[in-house]
Amino acid sequence: MAIISKDNFFGVLFFIIGVILAVLIGIFTSLIPVPALIKISTQIYAVLVILGVVVGFSIKMIGKDSQTFLLAGAVLVVVSKFGMDSVRGSLIGIGVGDFVASIFGALLALFVPATIIVAIKMVMSIQRV
């Protein structure tokens, strides 16, 4: 079953909007001065977490699609977390490290709730069998 269908249109749309928004937020948060960022960071990341929850609930997947999403989501979360730490250390002299680390952090805020909700939905569907 393909992930894009009539039933899944809004889930995929929220997913794409979320990824684009996470990348843009990651870029812009590294450009904002730290005192101003501290004031608005809670609201910025709350939007990403809520969008991640919406993505998790709105994507309708069955069987193998759920497993694929969970595997990809888990890999993305793990790689983003480890990448966020290692990029800061290795690219700090170039000035790119903060951009990349901010993007990874924003992607984490989006994908962690989505992955958890899809995992819970999958466990619930196993319990119904």
pLDDT, one tens digit per residue, over 71-111 is: 888 888 888 888 777 776 665 556 677 778 888 888 889 99
Q: Average pLDDT of the chain? A: 79
Handedness of CA 24, 69, 1, 62 (dihedral sign): negative
Q: Which positions ≥6 away from 29 have C-beta within 8 Å?
A: 37, 41, 44, 102, 106
Whether the pLDDT of residue 60 is over 70: the answer is: yes
pLDDT for residue 89: 63
Short-list 104, 100, 103, CA closest to 92: 100
Q: What percent helix, strand, coil does the chain show, rounded to 5?
A: 80, 0, 20
pLDDT, one tens digit per residue, over 11-35 is: 778 888 888 988 888 888 777 766 7
User: How many Cβ atoms from other residues are within 10 Å of residue 18's Cβ?
Assistant: 23
Tell me the pTM.
Answer: 0.79
